[in-house]
Chain A
Amino acid sequence: MSAAGATFGSGRSVGLGFSLLIVALYVFLLMPLVTIVGASFTSGLMIEFPPQGFSLQWYQEFLSRKDLVDGLLMSLRVAAITAVVTTVIAVMAALAGQAMAGRMAGWFHLGMTLPLLVPELLTAVGLLFFLYKIGLGKTVLGLQFGHILMAFPYAYVSITAALRQVPPSLEEASSSMGATGWQTFRLVILPLVMPGVAMGAIFAFINSFDLYTISLLLKPIGGNTLPLALFDFLTYEFKPTAAAAATLSILLSLVGVVLVQRLVGLQRAF
């Protein structure tokens, strides 16, 4: 700690340069967000930044467009189911990985995170063939399946990281006092990894909400997720309605994150 302090304190110029870098990074990261949120409130007719005047007309317009609203509802539903199902499977997988020893654990970990390594498009094409084979091609269930597959590694990694923080001696202590495996999981492990589980769920939700390529190939007939609906929309009309839709979905994601954090915040963790 003192070493780091000394490095940062050893000369104004370093400190200043570092601060500027941080600011630049923030601007870079927040720019798209600010632009899109700003553009959604314009009273003009084009997506532009800075916006002209202020109005809520594009929100009104968004809510009146059935294709976009349907897309939003579909995305929300798919993302919510993805978050729940993925998290449950990922917890089980992470526990299994934890119980393995040595080389086996390494291979298992690689296998579980494989969807991260394969390009999304290839996964999508592969899945499309597979889903047709088992009769789920172009169905909501097939789409759901694809979303869960893509979100799984994020949840798995987050939950595994949390599990690694729990000393094995806690499990042994619990067992020595008479707990079954399930009791140890429910009373000791789960409460301690809850923040990681919640993070996993959030990652899964956002990942699903954002997914484009997979959805494009697997979408059910007549159904669209919000990203697909927005892209279709933007192809023909470059109107701020899209910015309003984007802002709304950002807001919904934020609400989700805060909600989950609240739920977890009530738990007593480390």
Chain B
Amino acid sequence: MATVEAIKLHKRYHDFVALDDVTLRAESGQLVTLLGPSGCGKSTTLRCLAGFLDPEGGDITLDGESILKLPSNRRGFGVVFQNYALFPHMTVAENIGYGLRLQKCPKPDMARRVGEAVDLVRLNGLEDRLPRQISGGQQQRVALARALVMKPRLLLLDEPLANLDARLRDEVRWLIRDLQQQSGITAFYVTHDQSEAMAMSDMVAVMKAGRVAQFATPREIYQKPVERYVADFTGEANFLACQSVAEQGSGQYRIEAGGTVLTVAGVQGLNGRAELLVRPETLRLAAPDEAADFNGRIVKCAFVGASQLCEIALPDGGTLKLTAAPNTPVHVGDAAAVVMDRAQAWLMPEVAP
């Protein structure tokens, strides 16, 4: 449908810099997620895209043409708000038909399109209810239908699932992804939930204090983060400090971490101190005669049903979290030998330069 680019956006609120050089790109039909903790500038970015805010610097383009000068009511973008922003005095059908009514869409045509949208989000039978007479999940689907019925060039969603309980969240998440893919609409999606971001997105932008820390595919964000912040925000992680690393060929390093010397992949051009990222699921307790990568002592363990969560202290002061099979005998204080999938370890700087 449309390729959308945000180029070097800058936005200030008085002296507070909310966006600093934010560059993003959504190819036609892609869903791009803005992921980051509260206050990092996700909503500000989205509001600039929607035209509710004017950035002080940078540009926003749609298929290569700047749309910065277009006011929000002429951008033709669909927006889904965290609080849904349904019109409380209009019925479900009136809410969904609002944009068509503004376009002076003929009555029968409008009724048909509203009907299709109602089918799409499975709200049949609720057309004549007011927003306060339906549940939160249903309100969310009205908001979605209201945005989609306009066949927008770009769909913008600001934490659309934040106010739903866990079960509904799952359901609506897949509904959003399905509808977005069926209609091929380009979309930006804001969330602070990493699993939501991973599962739905073609691309993820991890934001950090008004900047984009990393913009890449979910797999790359998770497995090859550019700095500790990104690794931390995208899932459970162990970090082992490495005092001095030297590159051996492009992106390959020979390091010492947790009392073991290893060769691992990592961010290019590192030297001096670095951090080794080891995801818990790439670790396991060694079988009796197996060669171990790390040797340490169990300092914590907890049985959680499907597995046991263990924390292992290493001789150099580092710790490793990992999960063990539910019936493996593990006790606090025991020695533990740990095997790592070396291909999945990743070396990166504490803070990207």
Contacts and interface: CB of A to CB of B under 8 A. Distances in A.
Interface in B117-150: 130, 132, 146-147, 150
A269 to B, nearest CB: 6
A127 B296 CA distance: 89
A114 to B, nearest CB: 28
A270 interface: yes
Contact of B81 (A169, A178, A180, A187): A169
Contacts of B103: 178
B83 interface: yes
A167 to B, nearest CB: 7
Interface string A154-195: 000000000000010110111111111001000110011000
A176 B102 CA distance: 11
B87 A167 contact: no
A12 interface: no
A176 B79 contact: yes
Contacts of B50: 172, 176
B130 A169 contact: no
Given A172-B72, A178-B102, A183-B102, A192 B79 contact: no
Contact of B85 (A173, A179, A187, A267): A173
B229 interface: no
Given A178-B103, A183-B102, A169 B76 contact: no
B78 interface: yes
B98 interface: yes
A164 to B, nearest CB: 15
B78 A176 contact: yes
A165 to B, nearest CB: 10
Nearest to B150: A177
Contacts of A188: 87
Nearest to B100: A177
B39 interface: no
B292 to A, nearest CB: 56
B77 A176 contact: yes
A268 interface: yes
Contacts of A175: 51-52, 71-73
A167 B81 CA distance: 11
Interface string B83-126: 10111110000000011001100000000000000000000000
A177 B85 contact: no
Given A177-B150, A178-B103, A172 B85 contact: yes
Contact of A180 (B73, B78, B86, B130): B73
B167 interface: no
A191 B102 contact: no
A108 B64 CA distance: 43
B1 to A, nearest CB: 17
Interface of A: 167, 169-170, 172-180, 183, 187-188, 191-192, 267-270
Given A175-B73, A188-B87, 15 more contacts: A170-B87, A172-B50, A172-B72, A173-B87, A174-B87, A174-B98, A175-B71, A176-B147, A177-B146, A179-B98, A179-B102, A192-B88, A268-B130, A270-B88, A270-B132
* Closest CB pairs A-B (n = 4): A177-B99, A169-B85, A173-B85, A176-B79
Interface of B: 50-52, 71-79, 81, 83, 85-89, 98-99, 102-103, 130, 132, 146-147, 150
6 contacts: A169-B85, A174-B98, A177-B150, A178-B102, A187-B98, A270-B88
